[in-house]
Structure 1
Amino acid sequence: MTPPPPTALRRFIHTSRSVRFPSSSPPPLGSPSPSASAAGRPARSRSYKWTRRVAVVGVVGGGLYFVDRQFNASAISRSLRTAYIGILCTLDYKINFSPKKADKIEALHERVASRLGWVIDVNQGLYLKLGQALGLQAALLPKPYREAFGHVFDRAPAVSYSEVLGVFQKDLSLDPLEIFETFTPEPLASASIAQVHKATLKPGIGGVGHDGGGTVVAVKVQKPAIEKQMELDLFSYRSLMWLAEKLFELPLYFAADYVSTQMRLETSFTNEANNARRCAELLSQTPELREDVYVPRVYGEAEGCKQSDRIMVMEWIDGCRLNDKKQLEDWGLDLRETMDLAISTMSAMTFSWGFIHCDPHPGNLLVRPHPTKKGKPQLVLIDHGLYIDLPQKFREEYCTLWRSLFVLDVPKIESIARKWGIAVDANLFASAILLRPFQVNKHKHKKEEKKVQTQEEKEQSAYEQQVELKRRLRTMLENEQLIPRELIFLGRCQRMMQANNQLLGSPSSRVNLTARWASIGYTRSVTGSRSLRTVGTWTWLKDRYQDALFRFTLSIVDIAFWFTTQTQRVLPKEKGSWEDKLQAQFETMAKEEFGIEIDDKVFLG
């Protein structure tokens, strides 16, 4: 064969290099061309990566949520929920609290208060207690906050019986029926931290009951989630208080650590049992109360009854709530005697013992007919988880303050206020301590000045009024480091006892009865020996004068109390009891003197 010419060979080789032979398997029908696939590959790759990332985050997040819920009582989820609301509220305030939006400030408060209330409702548990702690300071905040925290008192759902069994198994490694003859699966009462079941001890444990059977007891079981949630919940509470201080520019955070410490102690039933025993011992040393006030017996290892830090067994007592007016009247118990006994007990704790039950709402102060005194009431104290100890120096100052209020010792009142880091008009300070309008220092032309201030306040916008309120409160609490933290709980106790008195129609002269116990505490713990030989003629005469003035002031208040009571009986249309009127006057005074709008009806629950 004749070889091809060189030119034809070169042309063939060049053509064969440029030809692309098809693959053995053709691309599917409708598939993009190679050039189109190459162009679309980056877009598809980015979309795929984002989808994969979202899926991974979802799976990991869902897994963490499941683990947190199943094994950590949702402690992290609760904290994240709180953090989200806190950030949302902060941004809302930063953006909308301004002079230009003064007409929308009330709506701003309502939004923020609603969110905080939602967090408490959803998280439940210790948040109810923390909500109560926030509620203690809500009197200084705008009205929507008082309404948001008003529902957290004395309200909590119960946990299932299976969860109760879990606590017994974990803490004691046994079933309730291994200790008790009977045990009610359904709780008779439920609070934020624990719930109470009625049970009967097995024979040989705790003695014999009244009917010859086993002793009837109340078994207090802590809700299992509390143990896991507590520290993160307390951290969230402190964070909220810090945030509130930044938002409102008010000294609110200074008490957060103190309140957190008390909350931790309240979750320890070992601590509660010790408080109950100590209270019973102090009662036995108080002649005025020891026969008329009773603390149910706590059963422990000494009585052959197992307990733990989350399980407590107490004597069962049948009684009614302090505010159950109908039941008290059906038993033929005098309302004034009953209320006097409750006020005297709390006053003795405050001024004589320095060891105070700080949750005296009606459900914790039971009343029953006296076992040995026919027709007389006996007060039964329960729920001893939250107590505070008053340092000796503070208790002496507090006794002195109450006495000074009734002898009109203005320099002493102002001196104590300064020691406590509180810069405020003596009249308002006195009224805040007594929870009633009280004037110890008359100012010339006061009424005329106040009329001008009130008119100016009316002309201010809502924004200007709240800015002025912040300024006044910052001035009042000029040195927060000096403010006794105990005042937080003392103020709460005083207000709760005032509310208890109101619920029964104000049968007791609360202020006078409290002042008398303050005088007893003053005499026993402050004055020491005040004989003529010890203190000298001038001081002895001054003591006699102040004592006479003290008694005279109390007599005047007693007369006013009696007159108001008789007026209500003679004129049924006369509305408002003694405490109602004092509260209304106090609220008016706080509004006019200081611009604070107080409404503590949450304590009436």
Structure 2
Amino acid sequence: MCCTIGSWVIIHMVSSFLVIRTTAMIESYVPSQILMPSQCTLITLDYKINFRPDKADRIPQLHERVADRIYNLLTSNGGLYIKIGQAIGANAALMPRPMQDRFGRLFDDAPQIPYSFIESVFRSEFGRPPAGLDGVFAEFEEQAIASASIAQVHRAKLKTGEWVAVKIQKPDVSKQVEWDLGAFRIVMWMFENWLFDMPVYFAVDFITSHLRQELDFLQEAQNATTTAGFIAAEPRLSGRVHIPKVYSEYSTRRVLTAEWIDGVRLSDRTGIRKLMGEENLASGAPTKSVQSTLGDVRLKGGLRAIMQTMVELFSAQMFSWGWVHCDPHPGNIIIRPHPRHSTRPQLVLLDHGLYVKVGDQFRRQYAELWRALLAADWDTVERTTKSWGIGTPDIFASATLMRPVRFRSKRETISGENDFENGTMNQYEQSVRMKERLRGFLLDTDKLPKQLIFLGRNMRIVQGNNQVLGSPVNRIKITGYWASRSLTTSMDLTFREQVKEYWHDITFRAIMFSIDLAFWMSKLKQWIKIKLGRTSEGFEDELERSMRGFAKSAFGVDVAPGVFAG
């Protein structure tokens, strides 16, 4: 279990697991509340009994057994428990190979609840049914167009004629939340204090307080309005990004009504490539698309235009606004033609239930960290990470950039660091050594900015979105530019400080030329291979390959291809 629990400590590879695992307990029922801790106890006992030096040759079978047990538990419960498995699969880089293999196969659909339950929610919230003579809407489609774990979405028509998307919270979710979050709290406390001596409990309060907000759809409506305001005030994004209009008169804490958007979800890779005129590059099976009437519409700019906007949007959130959408997975992003420019793509951002506010001091530190990472200013990186209670800045830097970063010279290399590569340790010794290194990652959890948990998840998903589309943009460069530029626009700078920041920004852009050159060389190789009819590898794929090597040499973990794909 050292490999499994230990990976939670690395914020940028594990944040989604903490967030989604907590979310997953929101919709469970009492049997699931009992089942999850009991299964955790069985897994714990299995490791306590069988994870021993004299049984080192049986540890691979132990990992297989536990992976099967967790996989079966999650799939049998369904709903949000599926998302636990997806989070494990997306953040399994430092987990045993069986974990990586099992959780890459999970699907995302949640079962729909019967229409009778939907009608009961409407009568409770509005005192009338969804449709009919005295109904809320002129028309209401009883079949949901999408079903997630805490809510499902139906298409409806207002009495004024506009089509809308209606998000309805599933029954019993709010009733169970405190029980489920309490179960989560107990399990995390046990893992830290009784079982594995790994710091996992420190983030529980921060995560649960934010996840409770997701159950309040009025808060989600306010979040959407706030984000729309930020976008309208940013010339570089205004018009390129759209937030669906919320109809407050048809929204309550359990029902959210917003503008209907017709387009193609980013998760529909085949549909997106077709929409952007790059279907000749498509690979793999078609994926489910949002209901669309776009037909044979083709937009200009290609996949690069989409990802350029996306990376800039989330960079602005982190470095300029301090207001971060924490779930930018492909299902929450729709691409449509711009309403006033029919050949231009517009990115539509959905699901505004979970946001994190980032204070000015931390936002500035985070921007300085990014600029220092890309400029190889290791003194600044170490100073910042140390102030956050992080003991291994090179691991943190690698997880942030999603590429290997090493600060130490050969003379300063920790004794035994190459033992993983040399193959001199058995499975038990590798796991023990890995746990030691992970425990050195977080030295003081009280200092760690808890926002990093959600920021890490955000950046991992954006990175994955870029990778699955073939790395059309240099994500690292774009993010670095926004970080550096944001430091020149701080309102509390003196004239002298502002001049200094502008000089740093100019110098930084010159340094970034080498990163951009590497990106375009990668794009050239990718283009040549496509022309020759060979399998191509994008820039993010190359970074993933190097990260797999880093995981092997630093932690002795055999990472499966695609684990870093987000």
* Range of TM-score over shorter length: 0.7 to 0.9
* CA shift digits 1:459-493 (9 cap, x unpaired): 21101100111111111111122222211211111
* CA shift digits 1:376-417 (9 cap, x unpaired): 211101111111111222111101101112232221110111
C-alpha separation in 1, matches of 2:105 and 2:223: 28
Deviates more, 1:427-436 or 1:161-170: 427-436
1:113 maps to 2:67: yes
C-alpha separation in 2, matches of 1:603 and 1:310: 35
C-alpha separation in 1, matches of 2:238 and 2:36: 46
- Could you say which residue in structure 2 is the equivalent of 1:443? 409
How much has 1:179 moved relative to structure 2? Answer: 0.9
- Counterpart amino acid of residue 489 in structure 1: F
1:432 maps to 2:399: yes
- Could you say which residue in structure 2 is the equivalent of 1:453? 419
Query: What SS does the aligned partner of 1:286 have?
Result: coil
Aligned mate of 2:308, from 340, 353, 372: 340
1:581 maps to 2:542: yes
Aligned mate of 2:47, from 93, 104, 114: 93
C-alpha separation in 1, matches of 2:95 and 2:418: 25
C-alpha separation in 2, matches of 1:394 and 1:270: 28
Deviates more, 1:522-531 or 1:247-256: 522-531
C-alpha separation in 2, matches of 1:487 and 1:258: 11
- Could you say which residue in structure 2 is the equivalent of 1:373? 341
Provide closer, same or farther for how the CA distance between residues 422 and 544 of structure 1 changes in structure 2, counting only shifts above 3 A: same
Query: What SS does the aligned partner of 2:234 have?
Result: coil
1:482 maps to 2:447: yes
- Counterpart amino acid of residue 248 in structure 2: G
Query: What SS does the aligned partner of 2:172 have?
Result: helix
1:491 maps to 2:473: no
C-alpha separation in 2, matches of 1:517 and 1:455: 37
C-alpha separation in 2, matches of 1:403 and 1:275: 29
Judge conservation of contact 1:220–1:311 (CA < 8 Å) in 2: yes
Provide closer, same or farther for how the CA distance between residues 183 and 430 of structure 1 changes in structure 2, counting only shifts above 3 A: same
1:311 maps to 2:240: no
- Could you say which residue in structure 1 is the equivalent of 2:159? 202
Judge conservation of contact 2:130–2:140 (CA < 8 Å) in 1: yes
Provide closer, same or farther for how the CA distance between residues 280 and 543 of structure 1 changes in structure 2, counting only shifts above 3 A: closer
CA-atom RMSD in angstroms:
2.7
Aligned mate of 1:293, from 229, 236, 241: 241
C-alpha separation in 1, matches of 2:414 and 2:94: 26
Aligned mate of 1:269, from 217, 230, 236: 217
Judge conservation of contact 2:122–2:128 (CA < 8 Å) in 1: yes
Judge conservation of contact 2:299–2:345 (CA < 8 Å) in 1: no
How much has 1:442 moved relative to structure 2? Answer: 5.9
1:386 maps to 2:339: no
C-alpha separation in 2, matches of 1:134 and 1:253: 18
Deviates more, 1:166-175 or 1:542-551: 542-551
C-alpha separation in 1, matches of 2:230 and 2:65: 47
How much has 1:268 moved relative to structure 2? Answer: 1.6
Aligned mate of 2:388, from 391, 400, 420: 420
* CA shift digits 1:509-553 (9 cap, x unpaired): 10000111111222223872343xx68xxxx6x756633431122
Judge conservation of contact 2:130–2:137 (CA < 8 Å) in 1: yes
1:326 maps to 2:274: yes
List aligned pairs for 1:137-286, cutoff 5 A: 138-150=92-104, 154-177=108-131, 178-203=135-160, 214-245=161-192, 246-286=194-234
Number of residue-to-residue matches in the alignment? 510
5+ unaligned residues in a row in structure 2: which ranges? 1-25, 278-296
C-alpha separation in 1, matches of 2:87 and 2:465: 19
* CA shift digits 1:276-301 (9 cap, x unpaired): 11111111111111111100000013
Percent sequence identity is 41
5+ unaligned residues in a row in structure 1: which ranges? 1-71, 204-213
* CA shift digits 1:96-134 (9 cap, x unpaired): 111111112222223223323333223334444555666
* CA shift digits 1:412-460 (9 cap, x unpaired): 1101111111111x44332221112345x4614689988853455x121
- Could you say which residue in structure 1 is the equivalent of 2:329? 361
Which fold has the larger relative contact order, with Cα–Cα distance below 8 Å and residues 6 or more apart in sequence? Answer: 2
Judge conservation of contact 1:195–1:222 (CA < 8 Å) in 2: yes
- Could you say which residue in structure 2 is the equivalent of 1:567? 525
- Counterpart amino acid of residue 519 in structure 2: F
Judge conservation of contact 1:126–1:233 (CA < 8 Å) in 2: no
Provide closer, same or farther for how the CA distance between residues 74 and 421 of structure 1 changes in structure 2, counting only shifts above 3 A: closer
C-alpha separation in 2, matches of 1:599 and 1:262: 32
- Counterpart amino acid of residue 371 in structure 2: R
- Could you say which residue in structure 2 is the equivalent of 1:469? 434
1:528 maps to 2:476: no
- Counterpart amino acid of residue 374 in structure 2: F
- Could you say which residue in structure 2 is the equivalent of 1:211? none
C-alpha separation in 1, matches of 2:211 and 2:552: 32
Judge conservation of contact 1:136–1:492 (CA < 8 Å) in 2: no
C-alpha separation in 1, matches of 2:138 and 2:209: 37
- Counterpart amino acid of residue 423 in structure 1: G
- Counterpart amino acid of residue 558 in structure 1: D
Judge conservation of contact 1:428–1:590 (CA < 8 Å) in 2: no
